[in-house]
Amino acid sequence: MHTIDDIEVAGRRVLLRSDLNVPLDKSGSGVITDDRRIRASLPVIRKLSDRGAKVVVMAHLGRPKGADFAERAAGGPSLLVVATRLGELLGKPVAFATDLVGPSAESTVGGLSDGDVALLENVRFEPAETSKDDSERSRLAARMAGLGDVYVGDGFGVVHRKQASVYDLPALLPHAAGDLVVAEVAVLKRLTESPARPYVVVLGGSKVSDKLGVIGNLLGLADRLLIGGGMVYTFLAAQGHEVGGSLLEADHIESVRAVLTDADKRGVEIVLPPDIVAATRFAADAPSDVVAADAIPADRTGLDIGPAARTLFASKLADARTVFWNGPMGVFEFPAFAAGTRAVAEALTRVDGLTVVGGGDSAAAVRSFGLPDSAFGHISTGGGASLEYLEGKTLPGLTALET
């Protein structure tokens, strides 16, 4: 895989695929509530700009709906707010094109001088970007390629997507991986190629179905798996326990039983919480009690791991030399049910070794607790991409950059 240090960019139009999919205020104000993905993209943007490239940034925002560009652009969200914030962080203007491959993009790119930066409108305003039809994506990629001389892929959060700006476009131009992607891949290789041991994986989140593939692959790599979050109730049910009104994927109970059997045969320790914080309903102010994990009342819903589980999980992380964590231990967005996730996050900060937070809700939780990024070895910018890599899947965006 070539890096941006391997290619000449001075005076050339560099199409840079970044991940600028930042969260916006839910009131509809369009205010960015967390600009960390923009900040994470800054080093490569600055590097290319400082080397004299005409930097043309491409990115998506949200999941626009509509039959064509006009409908999607009308419904938003537009990347204009991101262009404004990007300019503030760079300390210089960022030109903004109101389309992706139309007249505005052509004139905006055509007006750039060496070192300038532009941002094109949301790539997902073009339905062909995410089309399953190879020919549709290819036609859009060809139009995008006409705007550049070089392609750089630096959006790790989308490398698991077979999309026009991620998969099809690199084949049409000289291409390289950005530093953010290179760093992510380097960390993931450390997790999958001779990791320092004990190697502990902490998995949470809502659905076990989303994690079965990665669990299956990690059973051949990890020494210990700690399971929490909504997915733990399917594990408890697989052991024959009552889970009340807790999240349960009944159709995956047999798959989970198979996982438990396989782990036992391989000598991989699977650690489940001994107690649960069970509430009367799913709500921030719901009354709750701590109950044994094997005795959840039928009228209660598990919303977090209990105090004994927090202590147990921390002890199981204490001797780790490598840790990968993906998924909260409970509904951390509700302060009353955030203690389990906080306990895991704080335990990771005390680990003497590589600690990797697998992006998504895990990264959001870490930051909501006020823990600095520097307290962890690595916080991924792509939760879904990280999981698919650890599952052993081929990631289209990486394949395109390696070709």
Q: Which residues are catalytic?
A: 37, 207, 360, 384
Residue among 362, 372, 365, 240 nearest 293 (CA): 240
**How many angstroms separate the CA atoms of 388 and 342, rounded?**
25
**Amino acid letter at 160?**
H
The DSSP element (H or E) to which 356 belongs, if any, is strand 354-357
**How many angstroms separate the CA atoms of 59 and 19, rounded?**
6
Which two three-digit tokens encode residue 148? 């550049």
Q: Do residues 383 and 362 make contact, with C-beta atoms less than 8 angstroms apart?
A: yes
Longest dimension (CA), the chain: 67
Q: Do residues 35 and 22 make contact, with C-beta atoms less than 8 angstroms apart?
A: yes
- Cα 261–chain centre separation: 30
Which two three-digit tokens encode residue 108? 């905006």
From first CA to last CA, the distance across the chain in angstroms is: 8
Q: Which residue has 């930042």 as its token pair?
A: 22
- Sheet hosting strand 199-203, strand order edge to edge: 269-271, 224-227, 199-203, 322-326, 354-357, 378-379
